Structure 1
Amino acid sequence: MTNAKDEILSRIRAALGSDAGSAGSTAAPTVVPREYRSAGEHAPGSDVVLDLLIDRLVDYKAEVHRATPTELPPLLARLATPRPTERRGVVVPHGLDGEWLSAIDDADVRRDSRDAPLTAAELDGVDAVITAARVAVAETGTIVLDGEPDQGRRAISLVPDVHVCVVRTDQVVQTVPEAVRLLGAEPGRPLTWISGPSATSDIELERVEGVHGPRTLHVVLVS
């Protein structure tokens, strides 16, 4: 008796015109043509690519900022403490560049790691989270985090109400295939794809923000 998996695989092999991959088969695997565009016309981090990313992010209601490495610490301090007189703290992944936090009082910084994770209640009690990013896609206005030490656990970018995400301009590519190829170098990492602040809408298209993530997304482009 064939099970569902065998039936699906059999149909895929038939569609490919080869029995490659079947039990005991020695046939060479069929090469699936991939004729879609694999890269954009513009180099990562170029002015055209950055302008496109900014246009998409603004359309998604994210707030975009440009900064040099020197300007970054005070900018992060301002964005991550929206209520200076009622500071509740800022959560950061344990591998975030310490220089980025030099303008924030150490007492206000809550570090999170897989070995010492903050609880959901603790994450909900802070003002904001600051993370780095792995790559950004200009054509879709998407930023991808892959769980590395400077980006942290997925939870820290989903629970706090404000997410401040730092993206180097050389991390911005034009197309999705370029980003996927880069991410494919480490296929075991958990990915979080972010296109603007958390939002949803009902059948009447009434937009509601903050349902399943931060209501405010600050993207800081550093060059």
Structure 2
Amino acid sequence: MSSYFQRFYVFDGDRPVPVVIRGYTADDFDELIVIQSETFPPPYPSEQWWNKEQLTQHVTRFPEGALCVEADGVLAGSITSLIVDYDPSEPAHSWADTTDNGYIRTHKPDGNTLYIADICVRPRFRKLGLGKWLIQSLYHVTVQRGLDRLLGGGRMPGYHKYADRMSAESYLEAVVQGKLHDPVITFLLRCGRTPIGVAADYLEDEESCNYGALMEWRNPFKAVRGGLN
């Protein structure tokens, strides 16, 4: 069972809302699958929601990286990660290969990078900023584990609107420069993530044209000093 536990408040307008981030357990599985269905409704294929076998693998192989958030006592979202051995000189990869299609049997306890497999927050709770808090909880795990970075591939759901006139790399750069807004990439930037490239065939996602924006957060106790790219 995960030892991660954090209690704090967020605000719904002027009202403080008690929040807990903790490791999820088998008792949470049914509700976590419901949350997946609310977060990724049709036409997103239901077979890509978490199933109980995947969730069992998460809490068995790496409970520190399997976290959920409760708001006002209601399960509101989750984040799942694994440790991988990442080589920055060979950044190209797919979500399926890296996460073992979400079963995280690719988890390497002696790896150098914490990799986000999934984050989801119930739509009715998104105004509370819980997604950002979930990502920050994994920054804590990154530091506690002494890893080099947190890494993940972000969807680029706005890219399909521009794919006929710009490359995925140009689209990502335009979002970083503030010329375009992308709901996922802009959110990750606000969470402190930095783009390091684009992966083709990252995941089956029509809106992103199957691209993923690779975005990292470097462990500040290990990061090499230098300017942002």
What is the TM-score normalised by the length of structure 2? 0.31
Flag the structure with more relative contact order, 1 or 2, with Cα contacts below 8 A and sequence separation at least 6: 1
Question: Rg larger in 1 or in 2?
Answer: 1
